[in-house]
């Protein structure tokens, strides 16, 4: 049985290898063996180790790979993440695909941890969004968790999130409460989130039954403070700030008292962590 992400690995390897690795074919002896180190060239949080191990296995199951760093660990520049020994050609063929997964996912985990540390002590929690690379969603959201963040809904199926366009495309405000009641009756395990970009919407949503989250979209700091005050001493619905969040603004947003802050940049604007594969010198 194939692993959950074998289809993605297969696509990545097919794109890279195509009809064959011609460099290895002509310039590396088929009998050559080697040991290589996968090394972090800069400080960061490591994520994607399981899929990296699987890439090596798919390319050549005889390769001996040893993982030295746990998923979600913060490492210094120069840390060895894993070692791989065996056929030199196989290691070289797998190298780029392994690094592509590790670099991007570790970049996401590293950036997430930076946001999490900024809001530490405020009570606000950092969420990702659905702004993920097509096909990579589960991996990228796992990397967010490795960095200390939390996952928002995984897709369109595990939480109802009603935005202004949904209201425009349906019966608008008139049928909103009835729709919430129907959803809760048929699928009580699903949470309901309503998007508000004005305080009068927040006020209306707070009066409705069955609302689990209110997303405060692109609101100013005074508006966020007012929305939190409008909820009063109640702990529900949860309040989520979203829209244009940066490292420079997130701490001030967190101090307003919102429960969650969603950050699309965790996955859509990430810089890959510098990770390399280096062959060890022959003795």
Task: Give the Cα separation of 152 and 88 in Å (integer).
Answer: 42
Q: Which of 58, 163, 184, 274 is catalytic?
A: 163
Q: Which of 41, 74, 130, 131 is catalytic?
A: 131
Q: Which of 195, 223, 240, 259 is catalytic?
A: 195
Q: Which of 21, 71, 191, 217 is catalytic?
A: 217
Q: Which of 41, 58, 96, 184 is catalytic?
A: 96
Q: Is 282 a catalytic residue?
A: no
Closest CA to 4 of 59, 63, 50: 50
When computed from its CA atoms, the radius of gyration of the chain, rounded to whole angstroms, is: 23
- Which residue spans within the chain are E strands per DSSP? 33-40, 44-45, 64-67, 74-75, 80-87, 125-127, 160-162, 192-196, 213-217, 238-242, 260-262, 275-279
Q: Is 58 a catalytic residue?
A: no
Strand order in the sheet with 80-87: 64-67, 80-87, 33-40, 275-279
Q: Is 163 a catalytic residue?
A: yes
Tokens 């049985």, residue located: 1
Largest CA distance in the chain: 77
| Token code pair at residue 270 | 């990430």
Task: Give the Cα separation of 85 and 101 in Å (integer).
Answer: 20
Q: Is 131 a catalytic residue?
A: yes
Whether the CB-CB separation of 196 and 226 falls below 8 Å is answered with no
Half-sphere exposure of 2 (CA within 13 A, CB side): 9
Q: Is 217 a catalytic residue?
A: yes
Active-site annotation, residues: 96, 131, 163, 195, 217
């Amino acid at each position: 049985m194939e692993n959950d992400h074998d289809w993605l690995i297969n696509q990545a390897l097919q794109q890279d290898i195509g009809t064959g690795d011609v460099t290895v074919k002509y310039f590396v002896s088929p009998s050559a063996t080697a040991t290589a180190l996968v090394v972090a060239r800069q400080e960061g949080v490591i994520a994607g180790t399981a899929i990296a191990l699987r890439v090596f296995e798919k390319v050549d199951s005889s390769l001996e790979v040893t993982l030295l760093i746990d998923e979600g660990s913060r490492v210094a520049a120069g840390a060895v993440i894993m070692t791989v020994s065996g056929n030199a050609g196989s290691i070289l063929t797998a190298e780029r695909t392994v690094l592509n997964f590790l670099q991007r996912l570790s970049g996401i985990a590293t950036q997430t941890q930076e946001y999490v540390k900024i809001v530490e002590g405020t009570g606000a929690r950092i969420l990702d969004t659905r702004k993920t690379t097509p096909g990579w969603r589960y991996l990228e959201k796992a990397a967010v968790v490795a960095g200390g963040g939390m996952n928002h809904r995984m897709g369109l199926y595990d939480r109802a999130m009603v935005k202004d366009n949904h209201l425009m495309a349906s019966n608008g405000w008139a049928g909103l409460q009835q729709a919430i009641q129907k959803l809760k009756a048929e699928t009580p395990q699903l949470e309901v989130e309503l998007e508000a970009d004005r305080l009068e919407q927040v006020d209306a949503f707070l009066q409705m039954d069955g609302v689990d989250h209110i997303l405060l979209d692109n609101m100013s700091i005074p508006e966020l403070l007012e929305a939190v005050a409008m909820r009063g001493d109640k702990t529900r619905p949860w309040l989520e700030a979203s829209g244009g969040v940066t490292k420079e603004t997130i701490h001030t947003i967190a101090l307003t008292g919102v429960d969650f802050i969603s950050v699309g940049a965790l996955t859509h604007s990430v810089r890959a962590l510098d990770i390399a594969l280096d062959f060890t010198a022959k003795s």
